[in-house]
Structure 1
Amino acid sequence: MANKKVLMLCGDYMEDTEVMVPFQALQAYGLLVDAVCPGKKSGDICRTAIHQTTNPDHQISRNESCHWFSSTCRKTYSEFRGHNFTLNATFDEIDLSTYDGLVLPGGRAPEYLAMDERVLNLVTHFAKSGKPIASICHGQLILAAADILKGRKVTAFPAVGPVLVAAGAYWVEPQTLASCTLDGNIITGASYHGHAEYIRHFIKALGGTITGSDKRILFLCGDYMEDYEVYVPFQSLEALGCHVDAVCPNKKAGEKCPTAVHDFEGDQTYSEKPGHDFKLTANFKDIDASSYDALVIPGGRAPEYLALDPAVIKLVKDFMEAKKPVASICHGQQILSAAGVLKGKKCTAYPAVKLNVVLGGGTWLEPDPIDRCFTDGNLVTGAAWPGHPQFISQFMSLLGIKVCF
């Protein structure tokens, strides 16, 4: 059977994770995903935005309705520059009949995409065909402009509510920013905090089934880990139904780690910008490695100092000695090297980490191209976030998790 094929409608200053998490997660599950933007071609980039509120878990009461932001919160989200997102298809060349579903990221891009007649015709085509449409955050502005929401239950980022009501939708107040709503072929989410449920609904709507997802997975986090390298695998595994915990030394459940946006922008090394804050789900000091099936180590700058922590080294050794699946990406291999677990192992990493790998006794595998990933026994390694589809797919294979259509 041919692979399912999904179209993603992009634009400048779409929300960073709201495009990359579903884009790479769906590819990791075996789908073909084309990302396009009106007026741009395959290989062009769209700039993205980091949108963040101060309190994403604020519970919305009935009395607050769409006026979600209380006096304890900012009245809007903050915005920073995110990664550059590279398109892999040309808008003017796509054949809509070849796609099985449509994804609309949020952010600021939908404000102007909703004014583009070509975009509205595209969305109307998917709506009339009954094919799944997944839209998140401000993406629902495009659905409203396409006039396909009359009588349909939808949620969105709270500030979008009045527009959706005016478009004839049945507004479902998001109880948290992780809220999602399903009505027929339309899946809507309030924000990237709800990616797990949002992506899972989309997979099901495409006819997919998930098996082997009864796994407990631990993420080893730290301040200024790479934004994509924690969010994409974390939410991709959650979407599969895995129980995923994130811990950081000297931090507790509910506390946050700031992340870093590392990108390739023509300089001699990667650039760095502030990313989203990432909320931890468990206490590091309470972790029992034996209660988890696998370990994931994101890259970024965090591994530089995590590799100096004896408790981190012991944790990594426990997983490796038990031969449980371990997935490490980019600079995460600095921790593996420090733990002495690379001896006799073939692995890759970000090219600048080659010295750590070689001195740690590992056999260096050149990451050419940069998205190439490798599996050696229980260890999956990747060089950088462009390799997430391979990285997650290979990790799923070790875990025995499958998505079938």
Structure 2
Amino acid sequence: MKKVLLLLSNGFEAVEASVFTDVLGWNKLEGDGSTDLVTVGLHEQLACTWNFIVKPEFTIDQVNLDDFDALAIPGGFEEAGFYDDAYDQRFLEVIKDFHDKKKIIATICVGALPLGKSGILKGRKATTYNHATSIRQTQLKDFGALVVNEPIVVTDNIITSYNPSTAFGVAFTLLEMLTSKENCNHVKELMGFH
């Protein structure tokens, strides 16, 4: 069984988290059955960007990172406190641990910024939120990333993307990396993606 740690910050976007739970859940029940997902946060209760309240299954101090094969991080909004958690040292240490062990890390939109803050994107191609009025790609560049304005960028074991519209694409990319292209296509078809 491939276990994915879904690392949630206060202020995360629920839609960006839900694609990971749904795609990996569909795979668990209808695909090859090889994936499991666990929700983890810094707090026992989290508030999403749009006031949706979530209770992760565990807090960071309650899990053994060695039990997981991949890390998934949805983005969120500064106004909702996303960066308070996402830039917290405990959050960054989880990222560094997965990177040091060469495990897959998948992010959506500004979920790439804590990767940049952790230092793992220095000299590597990556992307983040790309709206014309956004400063997020500049921030990622300031962290040392080689910013590419493309929907999804895969560099080694790291997946980044440039806005919420890419969310399902990131989740399917993660599923393919964890299982196989054939299995991923099977799950896509079952979910109505043709």
TM range (shorter): 0.7 to 0.9
Which residue, out of 158, 181, 184, partners 1:379? 158
Which residue, out of 242, 245, 249, partners 2:38? 245
Q: Does 1:215 align with 2:8?
A: no
Q: Which amino acid aligns with 1:329?
A: I
CA–CA separation in structure 1 for the residues paired with 2:74 and 2:14: 9
Note the C-alpha offset of 1:356: 2.1
Which residue, out of 70, 82, 106, partners 1:294? 70
Which residue, out of 28, 51, 57, partners 1:281? 57
**8 Å contact kept, 1:349–1:381:** yes
- 1:337-372 CA-to-partner distances (Å, cap 9, x unmatched) read 1100001211111023112211111110113xxxx2
Q: Pick closer, same or farther for the CA change 1:277–1:307 going to 2, 3 Å.
A: closer
- 1:91-111 CA-to-partner distances (Å, cap 9, x unmatched) read xxxxxxxxxxxxxxxxxxxxx
**8 Å contact kept, 1:226–1:298:** yes
Residue identity over aligned pairs, in percent, reads 23
For 1:205-354, list aligned pairs within 5 A: 214-241=1-28, 242-249=35-42, 251-252=43-44, 256-260=45-49, 274-301=50-77, 302-351=81-130, 352=134, 353-354=136-137
Q: Which amino acid aligns with 1:310?
A: Q
SS at match of 1:225: coil
Note the C-alpha offset of 1:308: 3.1
For 1:89-128, list aligned pairs within 5 A: none
- 1:63-111 CA-to-partner distances (Å, cap 9, x unmatched) read xxxxxxxxxxxxxxxxxxxxxxxxxxxxxxxxxxxxxxxxxxxxxxxxx
Q: Which has the higher helix share?
A: 2
Note the C-alpha offset of 1:217: 0.4
Alignment: residue pair count: 171
Residue ranges of structure 1 left out of the alignment (5+ in a row): 1-213, 261-273
CA–CA separation in structure 1 for the residues paired with 2:39 and 2:101: 20
Q: Pick closer, same or farther for the CA change 1:338–1:349 going to 2, 3 Å.
A: same
Residue ranges of structure 2 left out of the alignment (5+ in a row): 29-34, 190-194
For 1:90-239, list aligned pairs within 5 A: 214-239=1-26
Q: Which has the higher strand share?
A: 1
**8 Å contact kept, 2:19–2:168:** no
Note the C-alpha offset of 1:306: 2.1
Note the C-alpha offset of 1:393: 1.9
**8 Å contact kept, 1:223–1:259:** yes
Structure of larger gyration radius: 1
**8 Å contact kept, 1:303–1:335:** no
**8 Å contact kept, 2:23–2:175:** no
Note the C-alpha offset of 1:275: 4.6
**8 Å contact kept, 1:224–1:300:** yes
Note the C-alpha offset of 1:400: 2.0
1:162 is aligned to none
Q: Which has the higher contact order (CA 8 A, sep 6+)?
A: 2
TM-score by length of 1: 0.40
Ranges of 4+ aligned residues in structure 1 off by more than 3 Å = none
CA–CA separation in structure 2 for the residues paired with 1:303 and 1:295: 17
Root-mean-square deviation over aligned CA pairs: 1.7
1:363 is aligned to 146
Q: Which amino acid aligns with 2:7?
A: L
CA–CA separation in structure 1 for the residues paired with 2:5 and 2:40: 8
CA–CA separation in structure 2 for the residues paired with 1:231 and 1:314: 24
Q: Which amino acid aligns with 1:354?
A: Q
